[in-house]
Structure 1
Amino acid sequence: RSRYLIQLLPENPDYDPIEVDLREQDFVIEGLYAGLLRQN
């Protein structure tokens, strides 16, 4: 992370990192994903 640039790194190598420039847009993390339960 730099002063104005945040980089979100995926765990899955099939996805590219997401870069957010704080000078151009707002950024807020509103929650944390912990898991998914499915009934089969």
Structure 2
Amino acid sequence: MLFWFGESGYNADVQALRKQHPGLLTLETWLARTTGLKAA
């Protein structure tokens, strides 16, 4: 399964999703907001 995530994954169109859902967060932003953690 990890190989599949790295090679194929879900092939989501993130740009189209951001147009439909402008508030869509990146993982980094979500972590910062929910845990207070910051990227190094």
* Fold shared per TM-score above 0.5: no
Write 1 or 2 for the structure with the bigger share of strand. 1
Larger CA Rg, structure 1 vs 2: 1
- TM-score range normalised by the length of the shorter chain: under 0.3
Q: Which structure carries more relative contact order (alpha carbon 8 Å, separation 6+)?
A: 1
Write 1 or 2 for the structure with the bigger share of helix. 2
Instruction: Tell me the TM-score normalised to structure 2 length.
Output: 0.20
